[in-house]
A and B are shown apart, each in its own frame.
Chain A
Amino acid sequence: MSKSNEFADALIAYLPALRRYAVALVGNAALADDLVQDSLERALRQSTQLRELQNMPRWLRRILHNRFIDEIRKSGGRGAHDDIADFCDHPDLAVQALDSLANRDFVRAMNALSFEHRQILLLVGLEELSYRSIADELGIPIGTVMSRLARARERLRSLMQDGGAEIRPFPIALKEAR
């Protein structure tokens, strides 16, 4: 099997996880798909930059992060898309299973966090990375990982307790809560 086939196989195998991560990070499934698609195209163009296939998840997330930050900058810190939480109230899209207000509030609160806070919560809680891996991936000391994570969880809890009073539309300014 050629190197390019191995690369393609590894890429396809990781795409579902990248797509999931993107939806959670961006808070908007449509925008997430656009970002994943852009990231996929970029990854294919830059495939020679990936030296070890086992590093593909980290490499793809970095591409996705960069694309997302570009999007935020282009939109001046706010996106044109609606917050995904607003869709649950759409009259034509009633979902009977939406019986957990706590879950809905949680998603709203997650979407109201800063990019960096959401990112670190997802890297720990969804991607299940160690602090060391996160530090390496983000290029920051472990101490910063720990303090950022603690602040992110504190902020999330605060937003949940406030009942969403402070929640703003996606995507939230990058430098919040630094």
Chain B
Amino acid sequence: MSGKAGIDELELNAFVDGELDVARLRSVQEAIDGDRDLTERVTAIQTDKLRVRQIYGPLIDRSLPAEWIRLTRHGRGQVHLRRTGPIAAIAAALIVFIAAASYAVYDVRTSSQEEVVQTALDARGAESVPVKVIGVASGGSRQYNGVLAAAVGLDVKVPDLGALGYQLVQIRLYRISGAGAAELSYRDRQNRLFTLYLRHSDGSVRFDQFARAGLRICVWQDEDLSTVMAGNVTTAAMQRLASLAYTGLTL
């Protein structure tokens, strides 16, 4: 189905998806620039591709059922899973259309879960006063394991995010309502900030990812530890960072 300028539909799609090699990309780009029909075709493909992302993308921000997290951590024996019924089906289906209609970021907010996120964001925004600030020189982060564990009262270690290009630059320690908390600050080569806030959990199990105030935020909490990760990163990057950070806390 070769079309104008020897460019077929497959190549137009490859162009939109960034799959052409440099030489072909240039010639296809020139052909598109000089042809209104091709331009319209490319625009249509780009629009549909973008719409997939805009409509379905925010669905990643829904809270995971706690049962799934417990199942993953502890196995089936201690978890009673339930199947969705008609009412749940309707409610769940609505979520898709709220996302589809709004084109907006889907924030997940419940009052009981909000506090730890807000506290973490306050720390990141320097709106709360730390009891101690530790600047980290380049080099290993392991030497701060003891400081971190003592501060939050849990057997945790400072995660090494170097594999994803982030280096630890600062540790801030807090006392909030008599309990210890800490914020680990990492920066990548573009000086982008990624923060990991941690403190004792309220005992609930939770894994959420959502967007707030221009940041992607991941809340990962088990019965003992609550962590809030924040950064100006993509959803996929946050998944990788969160996985590496959470694993590194106890590795």
Chain B residues near A15 (CB, 8 Å)? 64, 68, 72, 207
Q: How far is the CB of B36 from chain A (nearest CB, A)?
A: 18
Knowing A37-B68, A40-B72 touch, does A1 contact B48 (C-beta < 8 A)? no
Q: Which stretch, B93-101, B117-125, B128-136, B166-174, touches the partner chain A? A: B93-101
A10 contacts which of B65, B95, B243 (Cβ < 8 Å)?
Answer: B243
A154:B101 contact, CB within 8 angstroms: no
Chain B residues near A29 (CB, 8 Å)? 89, 92-93, 95-96
Within 8 A of A (CB), among B43-78: 44-45, 48-49, 51-53, 55-57, 59-62, 64-65, 68-69, 71-73, 75-76
Q: How far is the CB of B57 from chain A (nearest CB, A)?
A: 7
B239 CB within 8 Å of chain A:
yes
A12:B69 contact, CB within 8 angstroms: yes
**Assembly CA distance A157 to B19 (angstroms):** 21
Q: Quick one: CB contact mask for B137-176 with A, threshold 8 Å, 1 for yes?
A: 0000000000000000000000000000000000000000
**Assembly CA distance A100 to B99 (angstroms):** 11
A16:B52 contact, CB within 8 angstroms: no
B247:A153 contact, CB within 8 angstroms: no
Q: How large is the interface on B (under 10, 10 to 19, 20 to 34, 35 or more residues)?
A: 35 or more
**Assembly CA distance A19 to B207 (angstroms):** 13
Q: Quick one: CB contact mask for A94-123 with B, threshold 8 Å, 1 for yes?
A: 010111100110110010000000000110
Chain B residues near A32 (CB, 8 Å)? 92
A28 contacts which of B45, B73, B93, B220 (Cβ < 8 Å)?
Answer: B93
B97:A87 contact, CB within 8 angstroms: yes
B179 CB within 8 Å of chain A:
no
Chain A residues near B220 (CB, 8 Å)? 12-13
Chain A residues near B73 (CB, 8 Å)? 8, 12
Chain A residues near B55 (CB, 8 Å)? 103, 106-107
B84 CB within 8 Å of chain A:
yes
Q: How far is the CB of A83 from chain B (nearest CB, A)?
A: 9
A147:B10 contact, CB within 8 angstroms: yes
**Assembly CA distance A104 to B98 (angstroms):** 10
Q: Can you name the residue of chain B whose Cβ is closest to the Cβ of A100? A: B101
B196 CB within 8 Å of chain A:
no
A146:B64 contact, CB within 8 angstroms: no
Q: Quick one: CB contact mask for A141-165 with B, threshold 8 Å, 1 for yes?
A: 0000011011001101100000000
Knowing A41-B76, A104-B101, A107-B96 touch, does A24 contact B243 (C-beta < 8 A)? no
A13:B100 contact, CB within 8 angstroms: no
Q: How large is the interface on A (under 10, 10 to 19, 20 to 34, 35 or more residues)?
A: 35 or more
Q: How far is the CB of A15 from chain B (nearest CB, A)?
A: 6
B100:A107 contact, CB within 8 angstroms: yes
B13:A149 contact, CB within 8 angstroms: yes
Chain B residues near A40 (CB, 8 Å)? 68, 71-72
Within 8 A of B (CB), among A1-54: 1, 5-6, 8-17, 19-20, 23-24, 28-34, 36-37, 40-41, 44
A13:B101 contact, CB within 8 angstroms: no
Q: How far is the CB of A154 from chain B (nearest CB, A)?
A: 7
Chain B residues near A125 (CB, 8 Å)? 48-49, 52-53
Q: Please indicate which of the listed interface residues A12, A84, A85 has the most CB atoms of chain B within 10 Å of its own CB.
A: A12
Q: Which stretch, A61-69, A70-78, A126-134, touches the partner chain B? A: A126-134
Q: Can you name the residue of chain B whose Cβ is closest to the Cβ of A24? A: B56
Knowing A16-B62, A131-B17 touch, does A9 contact B52 (C-beta < 8 A)? no
A97:B98 contact, CB within 8 angstroms: yes
Q: Can you name the residue of chain B whose Cβ is closest to the Cβ of A13? A: B243
A-B pairs, top 5 by smallest CB distance, nearest first, are A30-B89, A29-B92, A125-B52, A13-B243, A30-B84
Chain B interface (Cβ < 8 Å from any Cβ of A) = 9-10, 13-14, 17, 19, 44-45, 48-49, 51-53, 55-57, 59-62, 64-65, 68-69, 71-73, 75-76, 81, 83-85, 88-90, 92-98, 100-103, 207-209, 220, 235-236, 239-240, 242-243, 246-247, 250-251
